[in-house]
Amino acid sequence: MESSVAADLVQFLNASPTAFHAVEEAKKKLISAGYKQISERQEWDLEAGKKYFFTRNHSTIVAFAIGEKYVAGNGFYIVGAHTDSPCLKVKPVSKVSKGGFLEVGVQTYGGGLWHTWFDRDLSIAGRIIIRERKDGSESYSHWLVRIEEPIMRIPTLAIHLDRGVNDGFKVNTESHLAPVLATSVKEAKKKLISAGYKQISERQEWDLEAGKKYFFTRNHSTIVAFAIGEKYVAGNGFYIVGAHTDSPCLKVKPVSKVSKGGFLEVGVQTYGGGLWHTWFDRDLSIARRIIIRERKDGSESYSHWLVRIEEPIMRIPTLAIHLDRGVNDGFKVNTESHLAPVLATSVKAELNKPVAENVSVESEVPTDGKKIKETKNSPKHHSLLLQLIAAQTGCDPDDICDFELQACDTQPSTIAGAMNEFIFSGRLDNLCMSFCSLKALIESTSSESSLQDETGVRMVALFDHEEVGSDSAQGAGSPVMLDALSRITSSFSSDTKLLPKAIQRSFLVSADMAHALHPNYMDKHEENHQPRMHSGLVIKHNANQRYATNAVTSFVFREIATKHGLPVQDFVVRNDMPCGSTIGPILASGVGIRTVDVGAPQLSMHSIREMCAVDDVKHSYEHFKAFYEEFSHLDAKITVDI
C-alpha cells in the first residue's frame, strides 16, 4: 500500500504541471470514485449519502460526501490544501528578442527559489481561451495545454564570465529569468575499434606500419589515436586535434560515510570550477570506476571496472525559502557542508528494508528483504552504497578494493528547443569537442584510399584533468603527447634528430568549448567579439597567451573553413575580465608545436546541465575533418620561418 500510494502521487505530480491540470486530475479521480460535478452557477439539489464536487476558475476544487444520517446543523470535517506552487508565469506581452535569441518574458509567481530554475529543461503549460465556431455562431472556452518536449531553457552564465558566482549567486528576476526559446574513453575505444583502429600499450614495444591506425590509453581517462599516412616517413608532421575528457563534478571522498539528522549522506569533494548551485535538487547517481579483486584457479588479480548506476539514488536538497528568506539576495554554497548528497534515511536502513527498493529489477540489486550487509569497507563508506555498486558489476562488496567515483545527473541528454535546435546536456564542456574530433579522425580515415596520399600522421588526443590544471600523469602537462610523437617517429627511424623537425612540421588544434553570447548577460562580451550559436567554431585569441592562437595558426584554420564553406568566428575576453585557458598553451609551450585554440559556442559552461546548438556540432565535425584532409596541402604553401 505504501509504495502504491507513493506511485499514485508521482503519477499525479507528473500529470499536474499547473494548478489547472491538478484540478483536472482531481476531477478525473472524483468522477471515477462516483462523485457528481455540480456548478456554483446553478441551484444545488443535494441528497444525504451522495458525493459531489465543484470547481472555481478551474484552479480550485471542493469535494464533499454527505453522510446518510446528516441533518442541517451538523459539522463539516475538512482537509484543506492548495494547488499552486511558485513558478514563472508568461507575461501578457512576452515577446523578447536579444543577442540573436528569441526569449519569453516571464514574471515570478510566489516566493520561489529562483536559482533552481537555471539550466532546467523547460516547457509551457497552463490554459488558453479559444474561439470556437459552429453553425454560424461563436463561443469561447478554455482549454488546458501542455507541451511535453523541452522547448526552453534559462542558461546560467559561465563561471569564466562571473568568477564570483560561487560567493553568492544573486538572480535579477527581471533580466536573468527569461527562458531561451527556441564520450568517455570507454565510448571512444568502442568507436575506434569498430573503425579498424588497433589498441596498443605504452608498456610494450610499438611495431607500427604506414597506412595503419592505432590508439592507446593512459589511466583509462586519456586516449590518443592516430592514423599513419601511407607515404609517411620519419620527420614528417603530425596533424592533431586535442581536447579533454573531464568536466567539473563532485567526486566521492576516500571516506564518504556521513550520517546527520537521521540521513545517510555521501561525502564529496569539488572537482574543477563548477557552478555548484546548479547541482542542487537534481536526481543524482554514481559513476566512474572501481578496483576489484578477482579470484581464479586459486590466484588473485586486480582490475578496474567501469560502473554506472542508472537510477537516481541521491539528491542534494535545497533549504526551503521559508528557512532562508534572504536566499534570493545571493545563494552562497558552502562546498563542505551543503553539497553532501542524501542517499537514504537511517531508519529505512535500520528497518532492514530491501537494499534498493527504488531501483529497477534490471539493475540486479537484491530486493529479497535481506539485511544490508556490512563489509570491510563499511567504516569508510555506507554499506548501502557499496552494495549498490557491487550489484552493478556482480561482484561481492568485499571484493571492492578501492574506487574513484563521482556524482552524475541522471537526466539524459536531449535535442530540444522550440525548433529542436539545441542540445541540453551535462559535460558538453568538453565531451562535445572530444566527440567531434574523434568522429572527424575516424571519418577522415574510413575509406581504403583515405591514407593513400597522406604524408603525415593524423591524430586525436583526449586528455584528463584539464579542469584542474592538466598537471597529472595523464594530463596535457605530462609527457604523454611528446612520448607519442617520439615513439611514432622512432618506429620508422632511429635518427633522434628527426623528432624536432617533425614537431616543427606539425600543427595542433586545441578544441575546447567557447562562450556563446548570453542574451540575459550581453554586457559580459566585448562588443566586437560576440560568438553566436549556429555560426561555427570560435577562434580564441588572447594577447597574454591564455590561448595559443597567433596570426599564422588563425589563418590556417580560417582558410580551411573558407575552402569548405564553413562559418567561423572570433573571441577575445573583455579587458576588464580575467580569461580562462586551455590545453593549447600547455602543449604549445611543452612540445613546441604550432597551435590554434578553438571551440564550439555554448551557454551555461560548467553547469551540471549545459547548452549548445545542433548546427555547431555539425560545423565542428566538418571543420575538424577538413583540417585532417587539407592541412598538409595548405601548410606547404605557408612560409614563415626559413
Same domain for 534 and 598? Answer: yes
**Is 94 a domain residue?**
no
pLDDT of residue 164: 74
Q: Is the pLDDT of residue 460 over 80?
A: yes
Same domain for 539 and 615? Answer: yes
pLDDT of residue 170: 64
Same domain for 393 and 499? Answer: no
pLDDT of residue 54: 96
User: CA 331 from chain center: how many Å?
Assistant: 22
pLDDT of residue 354: 47
**Is 70 a domain residue?**
no
Same domain for 238 and 294? Answer: no
**Is 477 a domain residue?**
yes
**Is 275 a domain residue?**
yes
Please state the rounded mean pLDDT for residues 355-369: 42
**Is 482 a domain residue?**
yes
**Is 127 a domain residue?**
no
pTM of the model as a whole: 0.86
Please state the rounded mean pLDDT for residues 388-414: 92
How far apart CA 314 and CA 343 sit, in angstroms, is: 5
| Residue 279 backbone dihedrals phi, psi, to 5 degrees | -85, -10
CATH number at residue 392: 2.30.250.10
Answer with the residue of higher pLDDT: 147 or 168. 147
| Residue 552 backbone dihedrals phi, psi, to 5 degrees | -70, -50
Is residue 195 within 8 Å of 428, Cβ to Cβ? no
Same domain for 558 and 497? Answer: yes
**Is 190 a domain residue?**
no
pLDDT grade, residue 533 (50/70/90)? very high
Q: How many domains does the chain have?
A: 3
Same domain for 381 and 510? Answer: no
Task: Point out which residues pair with 266 in neighbouring strands.
Answer: 257
Is residue 144 within 8 Å of 437, Cβ to Cβ? no
pLDDT of residue 360: 41
Task: Point out which residues pair with 415 in neighbouring strands.
Answer: 423
Q: Is the pLDDT of residue 513 over 60?
A: yes
Question: What pairing do the DSSP bridges indicate for beta strands 514-515 and 601-603?
Answer: parallel
Same domain for 227 and 307? Answer: no
**Last residue within a domain, chosen from 20, 35, 65:** 65
Question: What pairing do the DSSP bridges indicate for beta strands 36-37 and 51-56?
Answer: parallel
pLDDT of residue 361: 36
Q: Which domain holds residue 360?
A: 249-409
**Last residue within a domain, chosen from 352, 375, 409:** 409
Same domain for 215 and 274? Answer: no
Dihedral sign of CA atoms 273, 275, 279, 284 in order: negative
**Last residue within a domain, chosen from 409, 435, 450:** 409
- Sorted by sequence, the CB contacts under 8 Å of residue 57 that are 6+ apart come out as none
pLDDT grade, residue 297 (50/70/90)? confident
Same domain for 497 and 610? Answer: yes
Q: Is the pLDDT of residue 61 over 50?
A: yes
CATH number at residue 495: 3.40.630.10
**Is 376 a domain residue?**
yes
pLDDT of residue 176: 57
Same domain for 239 and 258? Answer: no
Summarised one tens digit per residue, pLDDT across range 199-245 is 999 999 999 999 999 999 999 999 999 999 999 999 999 999 999 99
Same domain for 260 and 315? Answer: yes
Please state the rounded mean pLDDT for residues 275-286: 95
Same domain for 258 and 238? Answer: no
Of 145-154, 167-176, 216-225, 507-516, the range with the lowest mean pLDDT is 167-176
User: Across all residues in the chain, what is the average pLDDT?
Assistant: 90
pLDDT of residue 363: 39
Please state the rounded mean pLDDT for residues 346-356: 65
